[in-house]
Amino acid sequence: MYSRKVELAVGGFVLLGIGALFLLALEVSGLSLSPGKQTYTLIAEFDDVGGLRPRGKVSLAGVTIGQVTSITLDRESLKARVEMAIDTEVDYISTDSIAVISTSGLLGDKYVDVSIGGDLETLENGDYFYSTQSALNLEKLISTFATSQM
């Protein structure tokens, strides 16, 4: 029969569903509630991005400091142009830093690792990384290894 119990149960059910959506958003997809973290853009050109994708992590000493926003091919240099959104708080990336594409684990995701240089000046919005190091290409590595053995 229609009663308070039914109303309460339905209310609980709807709350449970909405709670699940919040959990999916915050815990599972890591959406942050604070409206859009402030970021600035840095650009790096790689010879080979080898499997790096937009939304890939950018990390410094293993700590995530931003993410890859776009990967395009540069017409002139024929290199892969990778744009990254870096948290504004991280405003101490020196101009001679190197962007390295690394892999988490043997077959894991590709991410951009930033190794800090020693310069006193820091990179600002729209700046290019001074130097980059491309993805470790397993096949190339093996073939080099094989030929040097001969």
Residues that bind other proteins (CB under 8 A): 1-2, 6-7, 9-10, 12-14, 16-18, 20-21, 23-25, 27-31, 55-57, 64, 105-109
- Measured from the CB atom, the residue of 12 and 126 that comes closer to other proteins is 12
Those residues whose C-beta lies under 8 Å from the C-beta of residue 149, and which sit 6 or more positions away, are: none
Shortest CB 108 distance to other proteins, Å: 5
Asked if 109 and 64 touch (Cβ cutoff 8 Å), the reply is no
d(CA 76, CA 53): 22
Pick between residue 6 and residue 141 the one whose CB is nearest to other proteins.
6
User: CB of 97: closest distance to other proteins in angstroms?
Assistant: 22
CB of 4 to other proteins, least distance (A): 11
> Is the Cβ of residue 108 or residue 118 nearer to other proteins in the bound state?
108
Residue 94 DSSP code: B
End-to-end CA distance of the chain: 85
Q: Name the residue nearer to other proteins (CB basis): 28 or 78.
A: 28
CB 53 to other proteins: min, Å: 10
3-state secondary structure (DSSP) of residue 98: strand
Helix, coil or strand: residue 31: coil
Three-class SS of residue 6? helix
